[in-house]
Homo-oligomer: A and B are copies of this chain.
Amino acid sequence: MTRKGILFVISGPSGVGKGTIKDAVLRKINDVQLSISATTREPRTGEVDGRDYFFIGSSAFKQLIDQDLLLEWANVYNNLYGTPRQFVDRNINQGRDVMLEIDIQGALQVKEKMPEGVFIFIAPPSLEELACRLITRGKDAADSIELRLAACKWEMEQVKHYDYRVLNQDLDTAVDMVSSIIIAERCKIKNLNMGCDMIDSSFNQGFNGSGQ
């Protein structure tokens, strides 16, 4: 009788602040399960297997790829990262909503495998703003920022594949918007997964209870 969970994918260009938004939303709505990635890189101090990541070896990772058990995967600085489908499926089948924070290329891969997910694009108010954030972060040399802005142009065009767009002009407003999207999606008739069953049974209860 419980509804199926919903997969929420929070995505957007690098540096747009999607990680900060995701953290704040999870503090506000605490019955959403964050998706846990699998990776071949070594655990850092304090990281716990099964909480921060599923730490697995390269051959195990390649097996997940071969058996189509990843919603998406990518090679980042010679480490493999991916989203195990089973973890997401299990939570959804148990009626728990799952949140996945991921870059745009990853989100597009996920959409191919789970088009029924809810895809939220976090957008910078403008490219200038994004450039400013990338510079402020101080992680990147100036030329790398130029390259990333060029990539960002392609990324921004992908918004058309998403369901929602949230402008990250102000953090609190953006967090409210993403939270609202989660609450609204839970109210959608098509996500209630009860058809007329629950209504009918509540009616029968009503009529029996109030009855003749």
Chain A positions near chain B (C-beta within 8 angstroms): 120-121, 126-128, 130-131, 149, 153, 156-157, 159-160, 162-166, 176-177, 179-181, 183-185, 187-189, 192, 195-196, 199, 202-203, 205-207, 209-210
Asked whether A203 and B153 contact (CB < 8 A) given A177-B187, A180-B184, A184-B185, the answer is yes
How many copies of this kind of chain does the complex include? Answer: 2
Whether the pair B183, A149 counts as a contact (CB closer than 8 A) is: no
Residues B196 and A157 in contact, CB atoms below 8 Å apart: yes
B188-A164 in contact (CB<8A): yes
State whether A127 and B177 are in contact (beta carbons under 8 Å apart), knowing that A165-B187, A184-B184, A189-B163 are contacts in the complex.
no
| Contact (Cβ within 8 A) A164 B189 | yes
Judging by beta carbons under 8 Å apart, are B159 and A127 in contact? no
Please state if A184 and B203 are interface contacts (CB–CB under 8 Å). Answer: no
**Cβ-defined partner of A180 (8 Å) among B128, B162, B183:** B183
Q: Shortest CB–CB separation between residue A135 and chain B, in angstroms?
A: 9
Question: With A165-B189, A183-B180, A184-B184 known to touch, is A205 a contact of B127 (CB < 8 Å)?
Answer: yes
